[in-house]
Amino acid sequence: MAAELLDRSVAWSVLTIVPPLVLAALALPLGRRAVPWLPLAGAAGLVAAALALALQVRAHGPLRLELGGWEAPLGIALQADGFGALMVLTTAVVGAAVMVHALVEFRHPTGGESRAGLAFWPLALFLLAALNAVFLGADLFNLYVALEVMGLAAVALVTIEGGAAALVAGMRYLLVALAGSLAYLLGVALIYAQYGVLDLESLAERIAAGAAPDSTMAALVLMTVGLLAKTALFPLHVWLPPAHANAPAPASALLSALVVKASFCLVVRLWFDVFAPVATAAAAQLLGLLGAAAILWGSVLALRQDRLKLMVAYSSVAQIGYLFLLFPLAGGAASLPWAAAAWSGGIFHAVSHAVAKASMFLAAGTIIHALGHDRITGISGAAHRLPITVLAIGLAGLTLIGLPPSGGFVAKWLLLNAALAAGQWWWALVMLAGGLLAAGYVFSALSQTLAAAPDGFAIRPVPLRMELAPLALALLSALLGIVAYEPLALLAIGRPAVAVEGLP
């Protein structure tokens, strides 16, 4: 029975990584002949494999898979707990919606696939495989390899439509990503020199077994700073808004929803699973302060934007800040009740934000497809001609603001409860201010779409599936609060200290 379970779990874990790589390799020589069957097959297969993996973890608990029969520290291992399984499932759902939208986005006006579209499919599939490798990776070096594949694919996606602005944004992103990778790799080298292992489980045991030298803290700082640059946490966020604004909408959706979450999730792994004995309360408070600054700074700049995609991009800077509030709130003793609520709330916000932000970027892409621009002052009347798209923006906005019944409401409720229970009320004030500012920029954009259309208002026909993709994600983000128990229960698997508690 154990062998049978292992075989099934290996199959589902590997199927979330290997098939997208194979399909990406096939997309290159097949070109236009690969569309639309290859991206749709890849999306459907990834959703099925991710759902099967989540069900395996839900039914049987955490899984650790030694590939090729080589055990640590020699082999490559995959680990699937509730945290990793939920992020893989989120990647699959968002990736599927992006694929459907991109089939129209990259359709050449004269028929057939555009040149950008031919480049998008292999890059997107490589990116999804790398994301899953990060979420399921179990050793520091192979996680570095997955991060590099993810980063290179993401940079290429920013620049696939060409243009000076896109190339400049892509080059800035590349330089930041490479600097972050170098810092992370230096930390990995320090760890290997000190402990002789890179496997996360073995490393955690050795760090917990005795007093950690100063090099261990130095390694944690290096790896954390490198990953924060990739996550675009304030003040290391300067690459994110121009990259999102100049990338095509499907690429922006993948970047904001998933790419920045991968490096954030690795920071969480390192701090809570591996380096917990050496992570200090002062450092956790610093991460919280950076998160609070991101919430306020990103929200204020989002209010000042005159383009819809730039507004959504700066909103991403703000929403990333909420994720880092879990460090000062959940970084104490795991037995404290608010630590469980904070950890669950922070990760659940990552999932809710991923779905909502992908919806908003795809909706912005639909508006650009229909109107030829995304100037907020020039979208008056859009609600009358594109009601499904505007509805998607409104529903996704519920999560950004934190209004019920959205997933964002449940996540922020858990974080608020944790802040008040821990006596750290200042984080609650920051979250409330961020919600008010988010309401300001979301309602400002929506009010423009509801205004009367100007004379001569022209709109390009939009295929229904282009509108349904962002609407499906927006509905999911709005309904996540209603079905929150299931994803929160999945999150708790593999983390005995994390319970499904504090729900409204």
Domain definitions of the chain by residue range = 282-504
Whether 214 shows a pLDDT value over 80: the answer reads no
Kindly state the percentage of the chain with pLDDT values over 90.
50
Least confident of 5-14, 236-245, 370-379: 5-14
Neighbours of 103 (CB within 10 A): 21
Whether 250 shows a pLDDT value over 60: the answer reads yes
Q: Name the phi and psi angles at 232, rounded to 5.
A: 65, 40
Which of 2-11, 238-247, 255-264, 495-504 tops mean pLDDT? 255-264
Nearest-CA neighbor of 27 among 107, 19, 458, 422? 19
The 10s digit of each residue's pLDDT in 346-364 is 999 999 999 999 999 999 9
SS (H, E, C) 213-240: CHHHHHHHHHHHHHHHHHHCCCCCCCCH
The predicted pLDDT at position 501 comes to: 37
Per-residue pLDDT averaged across 63-89, rounded?
80
The 10s digit of each residue's pLDDT in 97-113 is 999 998 888 775 544 55
The predicted pLDDT at position 333 comes to: 45
Q: Name the phi and psi angles at 238, rounded to 5.
A: -60, -25
The 10s digit of each residue's pLDDT in 288-300 is 999 999 999 999 9
Contact 170, 155 (CB under 8 A): yes
The predicted pLDDT at position 370 comes to: 87
Residues in CB range of 474: below 8 A, 6 or more apart: 356, 359, 360, 363, 391, 392, 393, 394, 395, 396
Least confident of 12-16, 39-43, 330-334: 330-334
The predicted pLDDT at position 108 comes to: 53
Nearest-CA neighbor of 92 among 258, 252, 244? 258
The predicted pLDDT at position 135 comes to: 95
- In residues, how long is the chain? 504
The 10s digit of each residue's pLDDT in 18-56 is 888 888 888 878 777 777 788 888 888 899 999 999 998
Whether 393 shows a pLDDT value over 90: the answer reads yes
Whether 502 shows a pLDDT value over 50: the answer reads no
Per-residue pLDDT averaged across 353-381, rounded?
90
The predicted pLDDT at position 219 comes to: 92
Neighbours of 496 (CB within 10 A): 9
The 10s digit of each residue's pLDDT in 146-182 is 999 999 999 999 998 878 888 999 999 999 999 999 9
Whether 332 shows a pLDDT value over 60: the answer reads no
**More confident: 73 or 89:** 89
**78, containing H or E segment:** strand 77-80
Q: Which residues pair with 65 in a beta bridge?
A: 78
DSSP notation for 36-75 = THHHHHHHHHHHHHHHHHHHHHHHH--EEEEGGGPPTTTS
Nearest-CA neighbor of 87 among 314, 337, 323? 323
The predicted pLDDT at position 397 comes to: 93
For residue 463 the two structure tokens come to 């295929």
Taking the C-alpha atoms of residue 372 and residue 209, their distance in angstroms, rounded to an integer, is 60
